[in-house]
Structure 1
Amino acid sequence: MKVEYQNAQVFDGHKFVKQNFTVENGTFTAVGTNNQSADQTVDLTGYYVTPGLINAHTHITLAADPHYWDNKEQNAVTKTVLAIQNLKESLTVGVTFVRDVGSTEDVDLNLMKSHLSDLPGIVASGSALSMTGGHGAKGGLEVDGVDEARKGARTVLKKGAKNVKVMATGGVATPGETPYDVQLSEDEIRAAVVEAHHKGFPTAAHAQGTEGIKNAVRAGIDSVEHAIFMDDEAVKLMKQYGTVVVPTLVAPRAIMKNLKNFLTLWSRKLV
């Protein structure tokens, strides 16, 4: 079926331009022309058209609602149901591809392999690598030392991961740690990076505190997630190594929106 969309504000890579376009079987066949042979016309006055968006940092098995799991059992099935809900919600706001940087029960890996047509595409990491008891250890893959980090990376790659995620620092949502905590060491991270690069896949590091950020960059990590407390030296290192920063700006917003819950959590850390 050939459909002509009229009067749309279309993003051309630099700005929005008002123009018509024709889509046939999911493919743009004409742009900026009136198509007399169209089977149907749709007026998009007041609407904006962009390419599919990419969410570079997701955890599809996590719930935005802190009470989501109240009275619910957590297992592979329920986590998959939640992941599918999250992915379908992403589609409604124009996200057509996501990079999942740490999933439980290998849900992201299995959904990636399923190639379901009504979900966004997925670049899956599987279990994130963390030190024993470290950030994301619950549901992640605990590794200690260079050899275990190497084995951990090989394990998630064997399962089909297209990205290896490591935890370089603590975070704000886990009792008993802070964002400044250095967790996986530079050598441990480097071992995981080398294994991923041998297979041709990128790596990502949860790194909020300054020293952990620098450790990850010097280890050759491809992207630093959050990078909240990076300093000028960290920025210079990133330029030197070609490291990408994924700032996850929605995270501080979520913290402020749920500040009462986080203040309660942080007070427990001080006890």
Structure 2
Amino acid sequence: MAVALRCARLVDVEAGAVLPDHIVVVEGGRITAVRPAGEPVPEGVRLIDLGAAALAPGLVDLHTHLVGPAACGDFMQELRQSGARQALDAVVHARDTLNAGFTTVRDVGAFRAFVDVALRDAIDRGVVPGPRMAVAGAYVSVSTGGGMITGLAPGLEQPREYRFGSVRDVPDVRERVRELLTGGADVIKLIATGAVLTPGTVPGAPELTEDQIRAAVEEAQWYGAYVAAHAHGTEGIKRAIRAGVRSIEHGTELDDESIELMLEHGTYLSADIWWSDWLVENMETFDDEQLAKNDAATERQRRSFAKAVRAGVRIGFGTDAGAFPHGMQTRQLATMCEWGMTPLQALRAATLTSAECMGWEDRIGSITPGKYADLIAVTGDPEDPSSYNDVRFVMKDGEVVRNDLTLLGPAERS
């Protein structure tokens, strides 16, 4: 049955405007029409009146980790949990993410290989609720790098599923990429530099050569996939851009040359510039090394983000959810505005630009006929980023999955 959503305000991220009094018609999980509310609703179409709420596209997070212990700086916790425990916890993480208004995520790596693939498939089958997902399967990382569990006593060997993406040379990279993609991954996640949270690694230090990164890009392209590169340090960022990755994750130390390369290659930036605020407020969760590396990175990353905004780099919305509790990602919208974006630019980053980065702009990212009916509603000012911290209505694939608008029930009619 077709459904019409009437809203007092509609966020048009393509035009960068908020439009008054619109109706969005949904049928078969897709948006079929978007028109002014003054036009009559066809007979037989169920009307849902959202009252004064503002309707926006479902949000997209390019950088989540739905599998594994959330908001936990102790990576040894990974080894204390079974795969079944992690899969069941991931169901809760997926539900919380969807309820927060994120109808799509790109899940960019889990320490235990392929649990994210199983979660994505369960969501697609309708077994559990959650956002539509593009998943990485595992990290591709050097054995002592940011994508591995480090700090074990010498001589101890982790199970294969925790070392699945470990690489030493170019042939290793090619083999791992092929195995990940044939195992169900949608995107390849490379760890090109050290990491803030991984013990013993240096965020600014390169960990993969340009040849290794280029090999991953080449192999992924044969499978119709692409590469996202975790990269904090300037040299690792440049290697990744020159090698052809789709997006730079984090982008902490962008210099002028890095920015020029991103513009030349059309590389997207996915920078998690909010979550360090949460980390500082929850310091007891992390050790001294992690806190020191975060302190050193935060200001540099935000200044790099502002520089990228001014230069016109393609900027998506990636939060590193999982490093903090799932469902809190919308807090980053305000931080993006503090560092150079307008509210509607930030919202476009969290919708259409992120959809473009994923190669899914034909199906998600805006309220456009033909796209999936992934929609959210907020009661506050849609140009106030804090309004999205209180999403009241979520529709995915034309199905209402959350409804906290008191006007919704009495205003329905068939």
The TM-score range, normalised by the shorter chain, is: 0.7 to 0.9
Q: In 2 relative to 1, CA 102–28 (structure 1 residues): closer, same or farther, beyond 3 Å? A: closer
- Residues in 2 aligned to 1:71 and 1:99: alpha-carbon distance in whole angstroms: 21
Determine the structure 1 residue equivalent to 2:142.
Answer: 131
Structure 1 counterpart SS, 2:8? strand
> Does the CA-based 8 Å contact 1:96-1:121 persist in structure 2?
yes
Change (3 A) 1:194 1:226: same
The residue identity in structure 1 corresponding to 2:206 is: V
Letter in 1 for 2:71: D
**C-alpha separation between the residues in 2 aligned to 1:212 and 1:36?**
56
Name which of structure 1's ranges 56-65 and 229-238 shifts more when overlaid on structure 2. Answer: 56-65
- Say which is worse superposed, 51-60 or 34-43, in terms of deviation: 34-43
Shift of residue 23, structure 1, vs aligned partner: 4.0
1:2 Cα deviation (Å)?
4.8
Counterpart of 1:52, as a letter, is: G
Aligned pair 1:204/2:219, yes or no? no
Residue range with higher mean Cα deviation, 105-114 or 26-35:
26-35
- Tell me whether 1:8 sits opposite 2:8 in the alignment: yes
> Using the alignment, how far apart are the partners of 2:79 and 2:138 within structure 1?
22
Instruction: Write the letter of the residue equivalent to 1:82.
Output: D
- For residue 119 of structure 1, the aligned residue among 130, 147, 157 is 130
What is the alpha-carbon distance in structure 2 between the residues aligned to residue 71 and residue 221 of structure 1? 28
Deviation at 1:7, TM superposition (A): 4.0
1:213-251 deviations in Å (ceiling 9; x for gaps) = 111112221111010111111111112222111112233
Which sections of structure 1, spanning at least 5 residues, go unmatched? none
Q: What's the offset of the Cα at 1:110? A: 1.7
Once the two structures are superposed, what CA deviation does each residue of 1:51-110 show, in whole Å capped at 9, x if it has no partner? 222111111114433389979941211111122111111111221111111122311112
Distance in 1 (alpha carbons) for counterparts of 2:105 and 2:235: 28
**Aligned counterparts of 2:222 and 2:46: Cα–Cα separation in 1:** 50
How far does residue 171 in structure 1 lie from its aligned partner after superposition? 1.1
Q: Secondary structure at the match of 1:130?
A: strand
- When structure 1 is superposed on structure 2, of 104-113 and 189-198 the one drifting more is 104-113
How far did residue 124 of structure 1 move?
1.1
1:99 aligns with 2:106: yes
Amino acid at match of 1:128: Y
One-letter code of the match for 1:234? Answer: S
Higher relative contact order (CA 8 A, sep 6+): 2
Of the structure 1 ranges 26-35 and 151-160, higher mean CA displacement relative to structure 2 is found in 26-35
- Quickly say closer, same or farther: Cα 1:48–1:214, change in 2 above 3 A: same
- Where 2:57 maps in the other structure, the secondary structure is coil
- Distance in 1 (alpha carbons) for counterparts of 2:84 and 2:11: 39
What's the secondary structure of 1:50's corresponding residue? Answer: strand
Match of residue 109, structure 1, among 111, 114, 117: 117
Shift of 1:5: 3.6
Structure 2 CA distance, aligned partners of 1:187 and 1:66? 34
Residue 59 of structure 2 corresponds to: 53
The corresponding residue for 1:225 is 249
3-state SS of 2:10 partner: strand
Q: TM-score, normalised by structure 2?
A: 0.59
How far residue 209 of structure 1 moved from its aligned partner, in angstroms, is 0.9
Measure the CA separation in 1 of the matches of 2:232 and 2:95.
Answer: 29
Deviations 1:132-172 (A, max 9, x none): 11112133521011111111111111212111111110111
* Residue in structure 2 matched with residue 83 of structure 1 by the alignment: 90
| Cα distance change on mapping 1:83 and 1:192 into 2, 3 Å | same
In the alignment, the residues of structure 2 paired with residue 239 and residue 120 of structure 1 have an alpha-carbon distance, to the nearest angstrom, of 30
Q: How does 1:234-249 map to 2 (within 5 A)?
A: 234-249=258-273
Give the structure 1 partner of residue 171 of structure 2: 147
Partners of 2:197 and 2:78 lie apart in 1 by: 21
Q: Does 1:177 align with 2:201?
A: yes
| Gap change, CA 1:90 and 1:261, over 3 Å in 2 | closer
Q: Give 1:18 deviation, angstroms.
A: 2.5
| Pairwise CA distance, 1:179 | 0.9
CA distance in 2, matches of 1:230, 1:72: 34
Partner of 2:228, secondary structure, is strand
CA distance in 1: counterparts of 2:47 and 2:63, whole angstroms: 37
Worse overlay, 109-118 or 241-250? 109-118
Structure 2 match to 1:43: 49
Q: Is the Cα–Cα contact under 8 Å of residues 234 and 258 in structure 2 kept in the other structure?
A: yes
Equivalent residue for 1:189?
Answer: 213
TM-score w.r.t. structure 1 length?
A: 0.87
RMSD: 2.7
Larger displacement relative to structure 2 (60-69 or 46-55): 60-69
Letter in 1 for 2:114: D
Per the TM alignment, residue 36 of structure 1 is displaced from its structure 2 partner at its CA by: 6.4
Aligned: 1:253 with 2:277: yes
Contact 1:210 1:230 in 2 (8 A): yes
CA shift at 1:12, angstroms? 2.3
Q: Alpha-carbon deviation of 1:121?
A: 1.1
Count how many residue pairs are aligned between Structure 1 and Structure 2. 269
Aligned residue type for 1:19: D
